[in-house]
Copies of this chain bind each other. A is one copy, B any other.
Amino acid sequence: MTCRQPLTPVLRQLTRTTSFELGRQSSRSQASSLARTAAKASAASGSRRCFSSSQPRPLKATASVRQAQSKDDFTSTKYPEIKRDERFASLTPDHVAYFRRLLGGNGSALIDGVTGEAADDLAPFNSDWMRKYRGHCQLVLKPSSTEEVSKILKYCNDNLLAVVPQGGNTGLVGGSVPVFDEIVLSLGRMNQILEFDEVSGTLVAGAGVILEVADQYLAERGYIFPLDLGAKGSCQLGGNLATNAGGLRLLRYGSLHGTVLGVEAVLPDGTVVDDLSRLRKNNTGYDLKQLFIGAEGTIGVITKVSIQCPQRPAAQNVALFGLASYENCQRAFREAKSQLSEILSAFELMDEGSQALVHQVTGSKRPLESPYPFYCLIETSGSNVDHDSEKLQNFLESVMEQGIVADGTLAQDETQLRSLWSWREGITEALGHLGGVYKYDVSIPLSQMYQLVEDTRARVAEAGLLGDGEEHPVRAVVGYGHMGDSNLHLNISTRRFDARVEQVLEPFIYEWIAERQGSISAEHGLGLAKKKYIGYSRNPTMVGLMKQIKRLYDPKGIMNPYKYI
C-alpha cells in the first residue's frame, strides 16, 4: 500500500504537468483483474465463505470448504421444505438419445450422467462458486445455436423436463444452479460476437460471450461495455441480462433496461422471440424484451443480446476520503454529482468497521493516517485528463473548505489507483477470511441508507451477541456499497454459527427495509435465496401480476423451477 498522499499536498500537485495524469484506459480494468485473480486464488484455497442472507450454514474450518462435498451439501438436504415437483418427468436414456441426435456427436455439447458416469464433469454445473447450493443434475446440454435451444426447450416442454438456464454461474442467490434433477442448459458455446457498428457503438453478441471478452473486444475499438462487475472474467452476457446485473458502472451508464437495445430469446414452447433490434429508438409496440431482463431464466432463455456501448473514457482518477458522519457522505455525494457531474463514474461508501477488517486481514497500510467513521471512494472517467484533474481538484478544495471531508488521498498513478480500489473491492474477500458472514444486498432511500447498519448493530449488541471477545458470536456489523445507486451491502461478520444471530437479524432487517419501501435485493436478484422474501419488497398485487406473466410464458412451469417468485 503505497498510495498514502495527504490531500493538501496532492491538491498542490494537481496541475496539468504533474504525474497525476493517468494513462489511457485500462487502469480500472486492471484493478478488476487483480481483484479477480486474488479472488480466484482465494477461492482455490477455500478461504472465501459466505452465509446465505437467510439460511446460515454452520461454520467450518477455513480450509475445509473446498473439501469433497457430502450428501449434506445438497440444496435438497439443506432446504427439506422444497419438494421435487412430481409433475416433472425423470430423464431416461431415450431423452438423452434425442438430445444426442439433436446436438450431434460432438462430445463437448452434452454431459451425460444418465446413461454413463459423469459426476466430475457435472459437478461445476451442479454447484455455485460459493458452494452454497448443490443440485442433482444428470444432464448438461450445450447448444451452439438458437435453433438448438428452441428444439431443446420444445422437447423439454412437451416431455415435462425441467430446465435451468446457466451462463457463467457466478450468481449469489442460487438462481443458476439446479435443485433436483433439472437439465442444465449451458449457453457457453453461444459465444460469438456477431456484429459491431463502429459508428453507433451497437454490439450484437451471443448470450454465452463472457463479459470481459466483450469488453476487451470493445476496448480495441475505443468503446466500453456499459456494465462492469467483479465476476466479469466468468459471467456471460445472457446471465448479465437475465439477472439485470448492476455493478460498478450503473451510476454512469445506467441500467441494462436502458442500454440493451434488443434481445433474442426462446420461450419454453420453442418459440423464438426475435426482438434483437439494433436501433436506439423503436416505438412499435410493447417493449417485450424488458420482461427477459431480470427474469432469471424463468420465462425463457436469452440467446442473443444487442446493446448500446459508450465511448471508452480516456482518463480515470480515483480519490478516497475520510468523513466524520453519514450526513457528510450525503453532502459529499451531492457535491460530487454537482461538480463532477458528467465525469463521475463511481461513488462508493465504506464504514470504518469494514475498513478495519480489511486492514486486519491484509495488514496493508491504511490510506489515511487517522481513522474516520466513514470513507468515500470517488472515481472519475472522462475524455480529457487535464479537465478531469482540474474538476477533481476544484471538487476536493470545495469539500475540504466546507468541512464536508476531513482528510483524503488521491491516486497518483495506476498502482495507487488499484490500491485505493482494493480498500473497497477487498471487503468481501476480507470478511470471507474472517469467518461466516450474513450478507444483505439492499436498496434504501439514500437519506436512511446507513441507518440500517446502525439499527442492526444496536440490535445485535442489545442481544449481547456483538463484541470483541471470543464469547460473542458476532465480530462486527459493517456497511458499504454503491452510494451512487443507494445500494447498501450490510454484512454481519461472525466468529461461529449461533442460531440466535439469525433470530435477531430476521425478519427484523426485511421488515426494516419494507417499512422504508426499500428493496430486499438491489442487484443480486431473487434466485432461491430470496424467493420467499419477495413480499417484503413487493405487494401481493404485484406478486400476483408477476405470477400471471410466469403462467403466460411458461404454463407448464419447466423454466428454472423452485426459484424467483
Using CB atoms and an 8 Å cutoff, list the residues of chain A in contact with chain B. Answer: 197-202, 222, 243-244, 246, 250, 254-255, 257-259, 271-275, 277-288, 290-291, 293-295, 299, 311, 313-314, 330, 333-334, 337-343, 381-384, 387, 390-391, 443-447, 482, 485-487, 517-526, 530, 534, 537-539, 541-543, 545-546, 548-550, 552, 564-565
A461 and B339 alpha carbons, distance in the complex (Å): 54
Are A341 and B281 in touch, CB under 8 angstroms?
Answer: no
Are B486 and A281 in touch, CB under 8 angstroms?
Answer: yes
Q: List 25 A-B contacts (CB under 8 A).
A: A197-B446, A199-B330, A200-B446, A244-B287, A250-B281, A257-B257, A258-B259, A271-B541, A273-B542, A277-B517, A279-B445, A279-B517, A281-B522, A283-B521, A283-B522, A283-B524, A284-B520, A284-B537, A285-B542, A286-B550, A288-B549, A290-B290, A311-B338, A341-B382, A341-B383
Are A283 and B339 also in contact (CB < 8 A) when A199-B446, A334-B198, A334-B199 are?
no
Are B443 and A279 in touch, CB under 8 angstroms?
Answer: yes
A382 and B338 alpha carbons, distance in the complex (Å): 10
A255 surroundings in chain B (CB, below 8 A)? 258, 280-281
A387 surroundings in chain B (CB, below 8 A)? 384, 387, 390-391
A243 surroundings in chain B (CB, below 8 A)? 283
- Which one of B524, B537, B545 lies within 8 Å of A273 (CB-CB)? B545
- Which one of B382, B539, B552 lies within 8 Å of A342 (CB-CB)? B382
Are A338 and B486 in touch, CB under 8 angstroms?
Answer: no
- Which one of B330, B343, B443 lies within 8 Å of A282 (CB-CB)? B443
A552 surroundings in chain B (CB, below 8 A)? 548, 552
Are A244 and B288 in touch, CB under 8 angstroms?
Answer: no
- Which one of B271, B279, B314 lies within 8 Å of A486 (CB-CB)? B279
Are A280 and B538 also in contact (CB < 8 A) when A198-B334, A383-B341, A546-B288 are?
no
Are A333 and B199 also in contact (CB < 8 A) when A279-B519, A541-B274 are?
yes
- Residue with the highest number of chain B CB atoms closer than 10 Å, among A272, A383, A520: A383
- Which one of B282, B287, B541, B549 lies within 8 Å of A537 (CB-CB)? B282
Are B282 and A519 in touch, CB under 8 angstroms?
Answer: yes
For the complex with contacts A222-B338, A342-B343, 20 further pairs of A-B residues with Cβ separation under 8 Å are A198-B334, A199-B330, A200-B486, A254-B258, A257-B257, A277-B517, A279-B444, A280-B486, A282-B522, A283-B519, A284-B521, A284-B526, A284-B534, A284-B538, A285-B534, A285-B543, A286-B291, A288-B549, A340-B383, A548-B552
Are A523 and B283 in touch, CB under 8 angstroms?
Answer: yes
Residue of B nearest to A550 (CB): B286
**In whole Å, how far is A542's beta carbon from the nearest beta carbon of chain B?**
6
A412 and B342 alpha carbons, distance in the complex (Å): 23
Copies of the chain in the assembly: 2
- Residue with the highest number of chain B CB atoms closer than 10 Å, among A200, A294, A538: A200
A291 surroundings in chain B (CB, below 8 A)? 286-287, 290-291
Residue of B nearest to A380 (CB): B342
Are A287 and B337 in touch, CB under 8 angstroms?
Answer: no
Residue of B nearest to A444 (CB): B279
Are B258 and A523 in touch, CB under 8 angstroms?
Answer: no
Question: Nearest 8 CB-CB pairs, A to B?
Answer: A258-B258, A290-B290, A341-B383, A282-B519, A281-B522, A387-B387, A342-B342, A254-B258
A537 surroundings in chain B (CB, below 8 A)? 282, 284
A487 surroundings in chain B (CB, below 8 A)? 280-281
A482 and B295 alpha carbons, distance in the complex (Å): 32
Are B283 and A525 in touch, CB under 8 angstroms?
Answer: yes
A202 surroundings in chain B (CB, below 8 A)? 445
A255 and B200 alpha carbons, distance in the complex (Å): 16
**In whole Å, how far is A199's beta carbon from the nearest beta carbon of chain B?**
5
Residue of B nearest to A281 (CB): B522
A524 and B284 alpha carbons, distance in the complex (Å): 9
A330 surroundings in chain B (CB, below 8 A)? 199
Residue of B nearest to A544 (CB): B271
- Residue with the highest number of chain B CB atoms closer than 10 Å, among A290, A382, A522: A290
**In whole Å, how far is A506's beta carbon from the nearest beta carbon of chain B?**
16
Are A250 and B280 in touch, CB under 8 angstroms?
Answer: yes
A285 surroundings in chain B (CB, below 8 A)? 294, 526, 534, 538, 542-543, 546, 564-565
Are A257 and B290 in touch, CB under 8 angstroms?
Answer: yes
Residue of B nearest to A482 (CB): B281
Residue of B nearest to A271 (CB): B541
A197 and B357 alpha carbons, distance in the complex (Å): 33
**In whole Å, how far is A279's beta carbon from the nearest beta carbon of chain B?**
4
Are B338 and A383 in touch, CB under 8 angstroms?
Answer: yes
A200 surroundings in chain B (CB, below 8 A)? 445-446, 486
Are B290 and A542 in touch, CB under 8 angstroms?
Answer: no
A564 and B284 alpha carbons, distance in the complex (Å): 8
- Which one of B299, B337, B339, B447 lies within 8 Å of A201 (CB-CB)? B337
Are A286 and B294 also in contact (CB < 8 A) when A342-B343, A445-B200 are?
yes
Residue of B nearest to A262 (CB): B517
Are A281 and B246 in touch, CB under 8 angstroms?
Answer: yes
